[in-house]
Amino acid sequence: MMRSEFDDIRAHITAEPPRPSELLELAHSLLDDLEQLRTREAILRSHYLALLTAARATVAADGAGHPVPLTFLQHELAEHGQLPDGEQAQRILSDAVAAQSMLAHLDEPAGPRRSRAARSPLCGGVSRSLRG
């Protein structure tokens, strides 16, 4: 569920007195969404574990002097269609350099913040209604 959908649900619940049938329908919908999210999380965790295992095996193979240490990582990337071709390689390297630069600046203290009163409002707001 998107954040706006949660906002829509909250607005609907506070706007009118709840009817039991609507609340049951909402509860079923939320439980279905939670189940889908748990399944998606489990899949993502398994992909992460496979990638981490391949990365560790690659480093271990390099340390042990294996003649082709990237085999494990290349296999895992190819398995998911993520092995970059020559055209994508330069863009991926540029993205990696930019990401490293941004991560390096995360530890730096932030500059002074301007007060909210000095700026005009960023958003005037929009009223929402429950879809459906």
Of the pLDDT bands very low, low, confident and very high (cuts 50, 70, 90), residue 115 is low
Percent of the chain at pLDDT > 70 equals: 83
The predicted model scores a pTM of 0.57
Least confident of 8-12, 56-60, 93-97: 8-12
In sign, the C-alpha dihedral spanning 89, 95, 97, 100 is: negative
Question: 63 or 110: which carries more pLDDT confidence?
Answer: 63
pLDDT at 94 over 70: yes
Q: Helices marked H in the chain — which ranges?
A: 3-15, 20-63, 71-79, 86-106
Looking at per-residue pLDDT, the higher value among 99 and 116 belongs to: 99
Mean residue pLDDT across the chain: 83
Closest CA to 22 of 32, 12, 31: 12
Burial class (CB in 10 A: 0-12, 13-18, 19+), 76: buried
At how many degrees (to 10) do helices 20-63 and 71-79 cross?
A: 150
pLDDT in tens, 10-58: 787 777 776 778 778 888 888 888 999 999 999 999 999 999 999 999 9
